């Protein structure tokens, strides 16, 4: 049982590192006004500030996914963005994107769940 818990934590660190790097790369790309993400956000009818906010949440959340005591909050923040991305892609009819977003959403929620006992502002110290 002890080894299973250790294996899950190691897997959570590895998944956090992978997803963190991916979200940092995707988030930073949203800050470029001439970049890939500008046209889709305009086509979807979203304002410029939303693209920048999504980029900021993805970048910060991705960086924080690898820090166990804040990974719960980072995972939930990025998962919230993924829900919005999934709904947007559903309305756009991009079902393959929806499937990948669901995988990323599940990964973020799992990381948040795995590190829940180390939350920064927890009430119960046990």
Whole-number Å distance between alpha carbons of 126 and 111: 20
The per-residue pLDDT string of the chain (126 residues; one tens digit each, 9 = 90 and over) reads 688 888 888 999 999 999 999 999 999 999 999 999 999 999 999 999 999 999 999 999 999 999 988 999 999 999 999 999 999 999 999 999 999 999 999 999 999 999 887 655 555 554
Helical H runs in 1-126? 2-29, 38-43, 48-64, 68-92, 95-114
pLDDT at position 93, please?
Answer: 94
Q: Supply the pLDDT for residue 6.
A: 86
Is this prediction's pTM over 0.85? yes
Q: What is the pLDDT of residue 5?
A: 83
């Amino acid at each position: 049982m002890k080894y299973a818990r250790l294996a899950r934590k190691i897997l959570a660190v590895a998944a956090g590192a992978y997803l963190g790097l991916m979200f940092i790369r995707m988030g930073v790309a949203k800050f470029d006004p001439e970049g890939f993400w500008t046209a889709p956000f305009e086509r979807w009818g979203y304002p410029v500030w939303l693209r920048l906010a999504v980029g900021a949440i993805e970048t910060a959340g991705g960086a924080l996914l690898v820090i166990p005591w804040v990974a719960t909050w980072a995972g939930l923040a990025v998962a919230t963005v993924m829900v919005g991305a999934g709904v947007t892609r559903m309305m756009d009819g991009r079902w393959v994107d929806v499937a990948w977003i669901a995988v990323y959403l599940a990964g973020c929620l799992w990381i948040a769940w795995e590190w829940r006992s180390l939350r920064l502002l927890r009430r119960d110290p046990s």
